Amino acid sequence: MTVTKESEGRLNAFANEPKIEVLLKESSNNKGSWLFTLSGGILVIGLIAFSLTIK
């Protein structure tokens, strides 16, 4: 921690911040992403069908 002293005698403590890492965007064509999107679409279609049947 970095500690500085103000002109009035008060101490300020600043935390050490971690280095920033730049993350590159990965391709979203992997199997897990595709499966998650497909199951979400099926869920939405199922909820719409369910809501239409109870009217």
Tens digits of per-residue pLDDT, 1-49? 788 888 888 988 888 888 999 888 766 567 778 889 999 999 999 999 9
CA 7 to chain centre: 41
- pLDDT of 38 reads 93
Q: What pLDDT, on the 0 to 100 scale, is given for residue 52?
A: 93
pLDDT score of 32: 78
pLDDT at residue 17 in the model: 85
Return the pLDDT at 28.
57
Distances (CA, A) of 52 to 19, 41, 45, 47, 49: 53, 17, 11, 9, 5
